[in-house]
Structure 1
Amino acid sequence: MIIKSIRYLGIKGASKPVEIFLDPATTVLCGKNDAGKSTALEAMNLFFNGKQIPEPLVTKINGIAIESSWVEIVFDDVPSDIVIDSTAKTTLADELLLTPEGMLRIKRDFTGSKPKTTIIAPHPVLAENQTSLLELKIKDLKNLVSEWGIGDRVADHRSSGAYRRALYTEMDRFILLDEYELSNPDSDLKDFVARLNDVLPSFSLFKAEQVSNEGESFIQSPATAVVERVLKSHSESLGKVTKMIIRDMEIQFRAVADELGRIAPSLATTFHPDDLKPDWKKAFSKASFVDHMGVPLSMRGSGMRRLALLSFFRAQIGSNMSSNHIYAVEEPEVFLHPKLQTEIWSTLFDLSSGGGQQIILTTHSPNFVRLAPVDSIRYITDDSVHWYSPGGMGTVASASDLLPLIQSSLGVLSDHNVKCFLLVEGSRDIESLTRLFSTEIAEKEFGLGSAVDDGRLMMLPIGGCGATSIWSGRLDSLDRTVIQLLDGDKPPYEHKSEYSLEEDGFCVTAKLDVRELENTLPRNRVIEILTETWGYAGSGLDPQALEAQLEDFLPQDETHYSICDIPTSCAEAFYMASGSPIDSRSGTVSDDDRIRIRDKEAKVKYILARAFGQCDANDLNYIKATNLGSLLKLLQGLVA
């Protein structure tokens, strides 16, 4: 499940409703100081984790708090089913809790002493008493079905959901509400609200300011995020354990009440068990990172904390743990060396591209905006949010219309010593090439690592809608050579083994003679790296079985290997070795398996991008045998 959009009012400086549409993978919020970038992250954190709006977040006009404070989020990719009660699974669509577009729209109002949760969707309530069927026990639902004489419409007499679906066939007995409040004190919806919260994504906010307390509500250390992610992945098991604990505790509480009744009969019915459900997150609230001296991470320097944050995100990419999580990161570039700024961007991009994770970040860094696909950028001002969408939903007609706004606050590329621009398809390619250039053997032969370090060679992503339209006009005026590197499966369809500047003046389009950049790595190196990464002791995978599956899935013939989809093949090999077989070669792959493959593909790309940094002489010779080698020679001459 991902956030489609967020609206909020009464949070910090938001004196009128603010609405931001988010990218399904990574959203970059940029703008001048005090434009409201951090307010958007605060609003999300309040929605997911807040019980009451803190005084510093209350919007005030002339010192007086405004009358209303609320956060509304629209979720897309809603799960196919949900367990509302213990009888059977149902869907939010069947329970008439989704918008006409099939999305889940939830509003949390923090105006009063307790937040009110409302689902905004056309939801039916009984005309006679304004009650939702969700509030009725299965016994009451059975009585209503019997009273209406529609028992033959109930598909499963053990399921509350089946009874509700049968009752909904009599829609003339209902009134449709525009919204339905789940926090109504007169309703019995605690269990439903808890189960709905279970299917919502987990949310972690990493702020930029220094703190002195590891346990503050705004997460600074990865420790809290680790706890949340692990607990979320074990939610089903914890639910079963919780039921057993509550059952045994109720037995013990009742035994005490019975004994009390014998001693003082008048008190026997006064005392009863209450609030027995454990708070697992609270149980691990003191979990933290400490060094060998026992000093917590929160007390270390700002740079150290940001390095730990980078390490946390990198670990999530390599993790086999699947969970739906949203990470909000305020100014991830702060306190980091420029090289590590590029590294953390690449890592965040990788994390979001695997599916199941969504990233929202704020930045003042031109480097981050350069690297971001243009349709992921949201430029925030005091009174509006500017963005571009290829589908026409954005506030600007074209990507180039967004550039002057971004320049006004970031001053992109105002001064430089660039000799050549290399436009690649995505941030993954930038990481792969940067790591290749930085190897001792490649630097000695081509000198491109130092060219990247001192700014003579600048790489920019243009994949998809990318940043092409943002940079194209800008680059023309800089009088520098521009080289566009395309994968082998992209037009133009004429392969070239050599590239010449004379053909197109100062612009060269270079197309790989293999499918993708990963195909320039030798087959044996791919197998070796993935076997070492996935087949380590304690991983649960047999290294020999994994190696055998990789050998099977990756073609031995050089021609077929050069055009094969390496990430997909390696992802399927992983699942075959792990005992959860997925093999597209044998037939149709289910939608669920496609999601699993996509998630593992992202991890393969992540691992192989780093493999470029381990290239030896043999690997470099293999790369030079492709036309990428000719491109490296061309770049060497341009940056000299």
Structure 2
Amino acid sequence: MLLESVVIERYRNFTEPQTMTVEPAVTCLIGKNESGKTTILKALHRLNPANIPDDFDVTKDYPRRFLAQDRRKENLDEVIPVNAIFRLDEDDAQAIEDVLGVTPPESTRVEAWRTYGGDFGIGIGCAFREALEAACNEAGVDHDDDLAEVGQYTSIREASAAATTLAKSLKESGKTARGKAVGKIANELKKYTALVTGEFDDDLRDVLDARLPKFFYFSTYETLEGEYDLTELADRAANRKLLREDSTILALLELASGVGPQDFLDEDYDSRKAELQAASHDLSRQVFRYWKQNDALTVRFDTDMPIVEKDAQGHEIRHRILKIELEDERHGVHTNFSTRSAGFQWFFSFLAAFSAYQGAEKRVVVLLDEPGTSLHGEAQKDFLRYIFGELGTTQQVLYTTHSQHMIDPTRYETMRAVHDRATRENPELGVAITPVSLSADPHTILPVEAALGYSVAQHLFLGSGPHLAVEGSSDFIFLTRMSEHLTAKQRTGLDVNLSIIPVGGIGNMPAFVALMGRRLQVRALVDGERTTSVADKVYQAAKARDIDDNRIVVLGKLDGLPTTADIEDLFTTKDYLWLYSRAVHSLQEEDLPDTPEPILRRIGIARQRAGMNPKFDHVGPAHHLTRNSAEFFAQADPETLDRFEKVFRLVNVS
């Protein structure tokens, strides 16, 4: 199963229900400290934990401001702070079909929840309409009148009764074949009862419980230490009093030899140590695929049996101590693991802790709380590559961050902004979870802006080019999304070697060409109401840097576009209004003045006529294209695609 969405409510600073959609691979939660990012991960972990969990505690976790008054009105142990929705994969569908005898419809979803009192619940459901269509198909009903007659009902009981009545009527009128087919509907529909009503037996519950993903949570608390008292660890394990920080060393011991700490206390501990050593080499190789800061490190293990105390009779009491050491081949020294950089400790510890689930057949949702905060910026980027390039390809990952280096701005649609809306004036407001919008709260999305700025800097000073200068972020998004679509259709998109650089306003374009054109391959896309004056300056700057005029593309010079055309004018009026109406407010083509002016100018006039500010955030429609690209391209005009393709051919010129 794949986690599709989660609802958090009445938990810590979540005072109202907040629904967060989850990406199939990687979801990034960004926000300020104390905004509620960790709260989301903690709630999910407690839903169905893979490693050592915390429990919900009404006194500690229920929103403090409402605790006393709500406790008087209801039993808070029955409140559900976390509720998750899961989508079935092919194996899940097959397992359910083996129990019910029918394939679950596409709309089938599994729901799981946990209460403050610790009670766990699970359910399943699908749209009745899909179940009815499937039952009719299985029964062999294909006559439109029959389908329409039965299809007007909304419950199994009503539809079955209607089908029985209709079957009798058809047979009496001599339409025996149709009547026989309709008569089968009730029996076929009965097979979907569990999916439609949510009432199911233990056999199906066992399947759902077994296939529901578990949640693996990791934070700095689970980082390995330099030494472990295996005697005490074995005692905690035996008495089921394990600590959160015990989980990583237990996973490492399990990876090494499939044993626990107590197995190192017998006479065979030397062979156990050898197995642990072998496991450490495997982990080290994994680490150094992504750890580029120092690849001359090797993790080694040793044991000792020091005297820890004496009993009443004076007998020595010894404990088995496991020591984790690092060999630095560059300097030829051995040091304790705990003395090395916090970044390396965290990286190695995470791989060790997750080793128990690496390659597991059952899905595990990985929850990373502020991963890599102790890593250097470049090392954070290495770990980000690991998340998207390896970890996220096999398991779903949710991670929190406020670091610009742990954000890939090209994947901003996978980010969720988490911000606490409470103020001194209105303290009852809680956390809100929204998609990332570059026009949203600047404090929340600061890491995204910083990551985008860092990406621009990398392109400017490290990239070899060519570089295409555009005005702003909406240009970047429109060009990127349209190029992706055209390329997928085997048409001309942007040259894969071309880097798009938003220069922060059309007025910055001449300076960018003049300064960066000295050592970079620069091209420019000029648009907007200042096209004439800016284009002249850009051409002058290009000439001073021996940049050919054909590297400067002015949208206003394209056939069929206004002389001061914006990037938005590459869309037909119908297509741009499709985006604008869904992202800003509804506007029809007949509401616009019938003039040859750019679309943004015409929308501004229409807004002014309606008593609105003529200006609006141009990035909103661009974001909507990203979030709803499939729906947009399904209705897009061929002329829109042709215009963008023409621009791509011009800017791709060698």
User: Is TM (by shorter chain) over 0.5?
Assistant: no
Structure whose CA Rg is larger? 2
TM category, shorter: 0.3 to 0.5
